[in-house]
Amino acid sequence: MKRVLQTLISSVITLSSYLSSAEDDVFIQIYTELSEPNSYIANDSDEGPVTGHVTNLVRAVMHEAGYDYDISLVPWARAVHAIDNSANVMVYSMARSQDREHKYHWIGKTLPLDYYLYGLKENLEFLPRTLEEAKNSRVGVIRADVVGNYLETKEFNNLVYVRDPSLNIVMLQRGRIDLFPYTKLHAGMFVRGNGFNENDLVGVIRLEEMADSMYISVSKETSRLVVDRLEWAYQKVVESGEFQRIMEPLLRDYQEIEIEILGQ
């Protein structure tokens, strides 16, 4: 009996050492989309390291986890395809919606969400005031994005698909779309970043059923050991105050954005 117990203990120790070693050897491929000031390439080219507030948060988490990784800035549809089809893939920031809940592992929150449909204030007289009224409007969305998927379920018939969110503001001003969905924070940041005036936009309809937070997410095929370690690393970043230090400037700007929202 003693010999059997010793053999069992030895097997457990060997298995534990193997799992620890296997976990240490993991490489995480990370994808994000262009979303200033959270994920962008500082030198305005296709080369160079990805930077930004949420990017710095992700780097802090990966530093604590101790995994080798690479961050690539790609169209959102490519990021979703990768996380849907491969292990050890991370994507940020992703809205945690009901239809996505069981598709991914959710490591931790990055930003609050408050989605609105925005239009040009000069067209306010003609803009819809309810989701039902907006169904026939031309709405700019990102392919494979949670908001576009949501609007499809609501039978929106005139969705216009764009490569990245910043194009929506350009298309709005050129009269190619009537509305675009975005969070208050991202709408304000894109307007500022592209030289437009915040007073040109107005939020007309809040998308009440949308998720309330963005997350760092990991592919479902990723091992539980890796997921647990990433979750631990995220919590350590939060508890150490590093999360607050990295994100505070962005959240402060969030409170200062002055785009008008109807009913507020």
Structure tokens at 251: 């959240």
CATH no., domain 25-112+212-256: 3.40.190.10
- Position 3 scores a pLDDT of 57
Examine the pLDDT at 215 and tell me if it is beyond 90: yes
Averaged pLDDT for residues 43-63: 88
Question: pLDDT tens digits for 164-206?
Answer: 777 888 899 899 999 999 888 778 777 776 677 888 899 999 9
- For domain 115-210, the CATH superfamily is Periplasmic binding protein-like II (3.40.190.10)
The one-character DSSP state at 135 is: T
Sorted by sequence, the CB contacts under 8 Å of residue 29 that are 6+ apart come out as: 69, 70, 72, 82, 86, 88, 89, 90
The answer to whether 88 and 82 are in contact (CB under 8 A) is no
Mean of the per-residue pLDDT values for the chain?
A: 87
Query: Angle at CA 142, nearest 5°, toward 33 and 38?
Result: 30
The answer to whether 202 and 259 are in contact (CB under 8 A) is yes
CA-atom Rg of the chain in angstroms = 21
Highest-confidence segment of 1-15, 31-45, 88-102: 88-102
- Position 6 scores a pLDDT of 53
Distance CA 194, CA 199 (A): 14
- Position 113 scores a pLDDT of 85
Averaged pLDDT for residues 211-232: 95
The answer to whether 131 and 74 are in contact (CB under 8 A) is no
Same fold, 25-112+212-256 and 115-210: yes
Map tokens 């026939």 to a residue.
136
- What is the percent of the chain where pLDDT is above 90? 60
Averaged pLDDT for residues 63-74: 97
At residue 24 the predicted structure's pLDDT band, cuts being 50, 70 and 90, is: confident
Examine the pLDDT at 12 and tell me if it is beyond 50: no
Distance CA 115, CA 54 (A): 18
Query: Which has more confidence, 208 or 229?
Result: 229
**What's the Cα-to-Cα distance from 170 to each of 13, 33, 180, 196, rounded to whole Å?**
60, 18, 11, 9
Structure tokens at 114: 């408050």
* HSE, side-chain direction, 13 A CA sphere, residue 202: 15
- Position 153 scores a pLDDT of 92
* HSE, side-chain direction, 13 A CA sphere, residue 165: 29
Q: Where are the domains of the chain?
A: 25-112+212-256, 115-210
The one-character DSSP state at 115 is: E
Question: pLDDT tens digits for 144-165?
Answer: 888 999 999 999 989 999 887 7
The answer to whether 246 and 53 are in contact (CB under 8 A) is yes
- Position 13 scores a pLDDT of 46
- Position 18 scores a pLDDT of 41
**What's the Cα-to-Cα distance from 255 to each of 116, 130, 189, rounded to whole Å?**
16, 25, 12
